[in-house]
Amino acid sequence: MRSKLRLPATVSCWVLLTLAVLGHAALAVLAVAEFATLGWPLPTWFDTGAVPLVLATAAVGLAASTLVAVRAVAGARALRALIRAGSRPVPSFIQNEAAALGCAARLDVVVGEEAFAVTYGVIRPRILVSTALTTALTPAEIGAVLAHEHEHLRHRDPLRLLAGRLFAAWACCLPAARWLAGRAALRHELAADRAAAGCAGRGVLAGALLKLASRPVCPAIAAASPAGDGPRSLEARVTQLEAGRPPRQRPAVSRLLASAGTLALLAPASLCCAAMSQFMPGGVL
């Protein structure tokens, strides 16, 4: 019952965050128009403080979202360069495993000393593995890793992760937004682990996970992957494989309090910004 209730709650949080971001952006446009129409200073001291607050927080959110987008583009370019420089034919064993999962046509292999498997591509996702994976893992573990990545491929997780990071970056003034994005990323990993464990077994997947976690990370893969709390993510994934259920995820009280305080400032400022545009003489609307 709890697991069935968590999904609607998560969806509700993302819907509310999306609406908040869109509303915040619209209010920022109104704030610029109000300054252009009414001039400076605004009619009251509260207006003079509220409208710049809305505009400033939107500017910070836009800058943070732009930084996330720039890093995503740079990571994608690094990954494409890696593929161009080291592309290799798919080994027959990996080809057979991918064919059994139905993703052989969307599989790429590159030569490299680092063992990795990653799903990449926002519009047309594909799976990329390195030749070192064949020496680092057993055949059963390779099958588990491919099943994990196939689940990311099916659900277009690269696109979902990027969208979550962009929304969380815009709402960077709310610490809870960053926690929500991290929680969503971890939930995608846990869901892929459950699918892979169903195909290959928990023990096999756990062995592959721990082996890959102990090896060096390819710089291009690190650049293309979103930043996150690696140790905690690994701990949560291992806990799920050992206990058969995901660990509870709760935000720190300090994050909630800081987010509530920020909202307590932004809510009246946003109302003031909207009211000025609609009701004040010389207003925009």
pLDDT of residue 146: 95
Average pLDDT for the chain? 85
| pTM for the predicted model, two decimal places | 0.85
pLDDT of residue 284: 56
188 and 155 in contact (C-beta within 8 Å)? yes
More confident site: 60 or 225 = 60
Average pLDDT in the 113-135 region? Answer: 91
For the chain, the domains span 56-251, 252-285
Residues 6+ apart with CB under 8 A from 37: 282, 283, 284
pLDDT digits (tens, 9 = 90+) for 53-99: 888 899 999 999 999 999 999 989 989 999 999 899 998 889 999 99
Per mean pLDDT, which range of 3-7, 174-178, 230-234, 272-276 is the poorest?
3-7
pLDDT band at 208 (very low <50, low <70, confident <90, very high): very high
C-alpha–C-alpha distance, residues 106 and 120, integer Å: 10
Residue 139 sits at the vertex; the CA angle it makes with 137 and 144, to the nearest 5 degrees, is 80
Q: Is the pLDDT of residue 9 over 80?
A: no
